[in-house]
Amino acid sequence: MRKTEMSIEQVQHWVISLLIFAISAFPTGGLIGVSYAVYNQGRHGAATGLLVMTGVIGVLAVGAMRVVHKRSVATPLLLLGILPAAIAAYVIVR
């Protein structure tokens, strides 16, 4: 049986990454909720702006996690940050 052990530094990186995720998830969820309400009021431009802000927060969060793990920030994985906003846009407009 092979045991894999993580160093203290690796554990610290993962804890910080999870904190970044949790802290970015709160405003992302809030902006999506407000965007839904604003869209239903007929203010489509405002809803679009809120969804763009959601995407920016997601991209910044993914970039911050990559910096914590000492990886290159310039990667296609940054597009994962846009995913919640894209899904919300699809659900709201549908």
pLDDT in tens, 30-55: 999 999 999 999 999 999 999 999 99
Section 6-26 average pLDDT:
94
pTM to 2 decimals? 0.87
The yes-or-no verdict on residue 1 having pLDDT over 70 is: no
Q: Beta-carbon neighbour count of residue 86 at 10 Å?
A: 14
The pLDDT value given to residue 6: 84
The pLDDT value given to residue 89: 95
Residue 75 identity (one-letter amino acid)? T
